[in-house]
């Protein structure tokens, strides 16, 4: 194997995957896949793929309406079409969260952890110039890349912010139709793409990320309209950051439910048994009805595995604000004044 994986990571994945573990490990000996997404604000996807592509015949990414694979040697980042904003270079699995967000023209959408802008530009294309996109990132340095990509893509209905979720929540209470959380995570799903991440990984990386993710989800909940949708995604395999995070959220925020996502294109369903295993390891009781129901519901989330499809590792959960128990989320996240009203 060319990539040196952390021993503790390998041990955990062996327990998690069982019979699939060997296939998972073999995927690290295989070349990764390369993707680009056509910017439909500037050109029709099928026209580009069929007539304009300078990269030969592009193969479609099954789960992304405007996504295509290209060969490693093509170097699309050096072509004038890239600098004209006709496409964005994006890892194929990373295209799935926005597809599941189901953005419609005219909606108000928040990309809460947006830099460097791949998913924001994908959302903007779905909006088609109608509605509002708020692209936020709390890193001043990373926001520079976000602004560049928004401008390059020709997006005209976006506002770029450099704020923490805590500062945004009081201003945008109940404001958005859709919210994307591409959460900061331990990045285990990107080890094949970026070997340096494997070298830097440690057990405590997961614990640190869980704290951030819990806060981000809670703040996002207060900014969503009843009937609205949050998509939470990571590029990691750790159950603590994925199924466990979502089970904990829907148990605490009773006005949210998991919208089951289809397990097509090689997607895997979420694993309730991993929630139970993590709780057992943490000596948590996990016997309350709400917690048990939430754990079972995570089967409706999806995982993308590198040994099952042409892409890297991802997790995606679709959450809907049902409007029931309406004050639960806001009360949990704290005071919400002043508010920006619809």
pLDDT score of 51 more than 80: yes
Is 235 annotated as catalytic?
yes
The answer to the question of whether 111 is labelled as a binding residue is: no
pLDDT score of 83 more than 90: yes
Closest C-alpha to 254, from 300, 298, 320: 320
- Identify the band that residue 329 occupies on the pLDDT scale cut at 50, 70 and 90: very low
The average confidence (pLDDT) of the chain is 92
What does the angle CA 316 – CA 319 – CA 322 come to, to the nearest 5 degrees? Answer: 170
Residue 143 has a pLDDT of: 98
Q: How far is CA 240 from the centre of its chain?
A: 15
Residue 341 has a pLDDT of: 37
The answer to the question of whether 6 is labelled as a binding residue is: no
Over residues 299-317, the mean pLDDT reads 98
Structure tokens at 106: 């005219």
| C-beta of residue 310 within 8 angstroms of C-beta of residue 92 | yes
Architecture of domain 93-333: 3-Layer(aba) Sandwich (3.40)
Q: Return the domain boundaries, the chain.
A: 93-333
Map residue 269 onto helix, strand or coil. Answer: strand
| C-beta of residue 123 within 8 angstroms of C-beta of residue 133 | yes
Rounded Cα–Cα distance for residues 219 and 42 (Å):
34
Q: How many CA atoms lie within 13 A of 255 on its CB side?
A: 19
| C-beta of residue 257 within 8 angstroms of C-beta of residue 322 | yes
Residue 92 has a pLDDT of: 98
Residue 70 has a pLDDT of: 96
Q: What is the per-residue DSSP string for 84-102?
A: TTSEEE--GGGGHHHHHHT
| C-beta of residue 225 within 8 angstroms of C-beta of residue 321 | yes
Residue 338 has a pLDDT of: 32
- Identify the band that residue 285 occupies on the pLDDT scale cut at 50, 70 and 90: very low
- Identify the band that residue 57 occupies on the pLDDT scale cut at 50, 70 and 90: confident
- What are residue 178's DSSP bridge partners? 109, 229
What does the angle CA 288 – CA 291 – CA 294 come to, to the nearest 5 degrees? Answer: 145
Residue 2 has a pLDDT of: 72
The answer to the question of whether 137 is labelled as a binding residue is: yes
Q: Give the range among 12-26, 226-240, 270-284 with minimum mean pLDDT.
A: 270-284
pLDDT score of 163 more than 50: yes
Over residues 319-337, the mean pLDDT reads 57
Full-model pTM = 0.92
pLDDT score of 224 more than 70: yes
The answer to the question of whether 331 is labelled as a binding residue is: no
Give the other-Cβ count within 10 Å of 166's Cβ.
Answer: 14
Rounded Cα–Cα distance for residues 108 and 128 (Å):
12
> 291 or 55, which is more confident?
55
- Identify the band that residue 290 occupies on the pLDDT scale cut at 50, 70 and 90: low
Structure tokens at 20: 């699939």
């Amino acid at each position: 194997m060319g990539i040196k994986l952390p021993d503790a990571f390998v041990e955990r994945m062996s327990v998690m995957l069982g019979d699939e573990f060997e296939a998972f490990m073999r995927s690290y000996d295989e070349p990764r896949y390369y993707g680009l997404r056509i910017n439909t604000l500037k050109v029709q996807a099928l026209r580009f793929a069929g007539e304009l592509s300078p990269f030969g015949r592009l193969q479609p990414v099954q789960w992304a309406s405007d996504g295509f694979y290209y060969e490693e040697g093509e170097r699309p980042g050096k072509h004038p079409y890239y600098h004209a904003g006709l496409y964005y270079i994006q890892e194929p699995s990373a295209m799935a969260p926005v597809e599941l967000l189901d953005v419609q023209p005219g909606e108000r959408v928040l990309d809460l952890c947006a830099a460097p802008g791949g998913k924001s530009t994908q959302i903007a294309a779905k909006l088609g110039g109608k509605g509002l996109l708020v692209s936020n990132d709390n890193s001043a340095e990373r926001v520079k890349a976000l602004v560049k990509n928004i401008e390059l893509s020709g997006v005209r209905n976006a506002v770029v912010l450099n704020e923490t979720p805590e500062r945004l929540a009081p201003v945008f209470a109940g404001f958005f139709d859709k919210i994307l959380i591409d959460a900061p995570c331990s990045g285990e799903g990107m080890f094949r793409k970026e070997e340096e991440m494997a070298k830097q990984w440690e057990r405590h990386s997961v614990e640190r990320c869980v704290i951030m993710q819990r806060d981000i989800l809670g703040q996002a909940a207060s900014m969503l309209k009843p009937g609205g949708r949050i998509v939470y995604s990571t590029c990691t395999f750790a159950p603590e950051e994925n199924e466990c995070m979502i089970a904990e959220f829907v148990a605490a925020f009773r006005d949210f439910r998991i919208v089951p996502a289809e397990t097509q294109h090689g997607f895997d369903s979420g694993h309730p048994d991993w929630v139970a295993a993590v709780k057992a390891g943490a000596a948590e009781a996990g016997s309350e009805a709400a917690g048990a129901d939430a754990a079972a519901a995570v089967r409706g989330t999806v995982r993308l595995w590198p040994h099952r499809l042409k892409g890297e590792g991802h997790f995606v959960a679709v959450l809907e604000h049902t409007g029931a128990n309406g004050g639960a989320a806001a009360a949990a996240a704290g005071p919400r004044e002043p508010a920006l009203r619809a």
